[in-house]
């Protein structure tokens, strides 16, 4: 129940922007966790599974990273992502960069040509603009526009992530809520490790 301690840890942050409210009866069809939404959210669509280890959420994070607005990885569509998660080949976005040709070619309905095309796309995605990487991380409240703005004002995505809320506000020109959301995301050691692994894989964190 790793996600529970992470949720309760989050709740202790008195000024945390992302407080959660739990749905009285609806649960995630995939993992059975009670749906939650940020306390200020009001739309039915805002109820989502809060379990970070839920396969449905993992698929969402992978799809977001691969989407045209983020790292733009052609071929990494919903069907492929579902296959990767089902086979345990991608437990987070950094693992995409360790996929092997033989593993991909062995997936149902795939072949060596598909595997090579995908590996080429993954290799190309390592040199995309820094703002795409920042947006692709899926930090709450950091949409593509805010990611672009922040990357114009910081020399590198990792410099921004480590800056702390005050400097993110003053140097980045974003709201306190956005800045705290970034600082909170990077305060999680799982996320810091993810950033390091992406850097080690050769993903570009520099900004223009
Ligand atoms: Zn779930």
The pTM is what?
A: 0.83
The pLDDT of residue 18 is 56
In a domain, 113, yes or no: yes
Q: Across residues 161-174, what is the average pLDDT?
A: 97
Residue located via tokens 């992978």: 62
In-domain check, residue 145: yes
For residue 68, give the CATH number of its domain.
1.10.150.20
Concatenating the DSSP letter of every residue in 10-25 gives HHH-TT-TT-EEEEEE
Share of the chain above pLDDT 70, in %: 91
Long-range contacts of 37-43 (CB under 8 A, 24+ apart): 38/140
Taking only the tens place, the pLDDT of each residue in 61-118 is 999 999 999 999 999 999 999 999 999 999 999 999 999 999 999 999 999 999 999 9
Q: How far is the CA of 28 from the centre of ligand 1 (A)?
A: 5
Domain assignment present for residue 20? The answer is yes
Q: Mind listing the pLDDT tens digit for each residue in 51-60?
A: 878 999 999 9
Q: Is the pLDDT of residue 44 over 80?
A: no
Contact 180, 17 (CB under 8 A): yes
On whether residue 208 sits in a domain, the answer given is: no
How many domains are contained in the chain?
Answer: 3
Q: How many CA atoms lie within 13 A of 110 on its CB side?
A: 21
pLDDT score recorded for residue 154:
97
Q: Can you tell me which residue has the tokens 């990273």?
A: 65
pLDDT tops 90 at residue 131: yes
> 62 with 115, same domain?
yes
Is residue 155 situated within a structural domain? yes
- Between CA 51 and CA 2 the distance in angstroms is 9
pLDDT at 156 over 70: yes
Separation of 50 CA from ligand 1 center, angstroms? 7
Helix (H) or strand (E) holding 184: helix 176-187
Rounded Cα distance between 65 and 72, Å, is: 8
**179 Cα–ligand 1 center, Å:** 27
Whether residue 182 is contained in a domain is answered as: yes
Do 109 and 166 reside in the same domain of the chain? Answer: no
Ligand 1 centroid to 27 CA: how many Å?
8
The rounded Å distance from CA 143 to ligand 1 centre is 23
Calculate how far, in angstroms, residue 175's C-alpha sits from the geometric centre of ligand 1: 30
Domain that holds residue 12: 2-46
Q: How far, in Å, from the CA of 49 to the mean position of ligand 1?
A: 5
> How many CB atoms sit inside 10 A of residue 117's CB?
13
Q: Which of 196, 153, 197 is nearest to 174 (CA)?
A: 153
For residue 204, the model assigns a pLDDT of: 98
Residues 3/50, Cβ–Cβ less than 8 Å: yes
* Site of tokens 């569509």: 77
Would you say residue 138 lies in a domain? Answer: yes
pLDDT, tens digit, 9 for 90 and up, residues 6-33: 444 443 443 343 578 899 999 998 899 9
For residue 165, the model assigns a pLDDT of 96
Rounded distance from Cα 26 to ligand 1 centre (Å) = 11
User: Based on the domain organization, do 118 and 141 belong to the same domain?
Assistant: no
pLDDT: which is higher, 42 or 92 = 92
Distance CA 36, CA 34 (A): 6
Distance 74 CA to ligand 1 centre (A): 26
Q: Are residues 71 and 37 in the same domain?
A: no
The whole-angstrom separation of Cα 130 and Cα 122 is 15
Which position has the higher pLDDT, 19 or 204? 204
What's the 23 CA to ligand 1 centre distance in angstroms? 13
- Do 169 and 137 belong to one domain? yes
Q: Using CA atoms, how far apart are residues 56 and 82, in angstroms rounded to an integer?
A: 9
Give the mean model confidence (pLDDT) for residues 138-167. 96
Q: Does position 158 have pLDDT exceeding 80, yes or no?
A: yes
Q: Among the three residues 77, 97, 125, which one is the final residue of a domain in this structure?
A: 125
Q: What is the pLDDT of the chain when averaged over all its residues?
A: 89
Q: pLDDT confidence of 42, banded at 50, 70, 90? A: confident
Q: Give me ligand 1 centre to Cα 166, in Å.
A: 34
Examine the domain organization and report whether 61 and 38 are in the same domain: no
Same domain, residue pair 118 and 170 = no
Q: Are residues 25 and 87 in the same domain?
A: no
Cα–Cα distance measured from residue 101 to residue 26, given in angstroms and rounded to the nearest whole number: 40
C-alpha 53 – ligand 1 centre gap (Å):
8
Domain-ending residue, one of 125, 148, 181: 125
């Amino acid at each position: 129940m790793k996600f529970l301690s992470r949720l309760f840890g989050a709740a202790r942050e008195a000024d945390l922007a992302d407080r959660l409210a739990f749905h009285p009866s609806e649960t995630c069809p995939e993992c059975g966790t009670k749906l939650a939404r940020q306390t200020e959210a009001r739309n039915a669509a805002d109820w989502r599974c809060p379990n970070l280890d839920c396969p449905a959420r993992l698929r969402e994070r992978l799809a977001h990273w691969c989407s045209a607005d983020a790292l733009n990885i052609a071929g990494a569509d919903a069907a492929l992502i579902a296959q990767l998660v089902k086979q345990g080949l991608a437990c987070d976005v950094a693992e995409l960069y360790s996929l092997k040709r033989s593993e991909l070619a062995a997936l149902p309905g795939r072949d060596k040509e598909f595997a090579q095309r995908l590996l080429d796309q993954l290799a190309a995605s390592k040199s995309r603009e820094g703002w795409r990487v920042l947006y692709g991380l899926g930090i709450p409240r950091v949409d593509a526009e805010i990611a672009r703005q922040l990357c114009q004002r910081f020399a590198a995505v990792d410099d921004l992530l480590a800056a702390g809320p005050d400097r993110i506000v003053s140097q980045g020109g974003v709201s306190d809520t956005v800045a705290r959301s970034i600082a909170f995301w990077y305060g999680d050691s799982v996320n810091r490790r993810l950033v390091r692994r992406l850097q080690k894989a050769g993903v570009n964190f520099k900004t223009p």
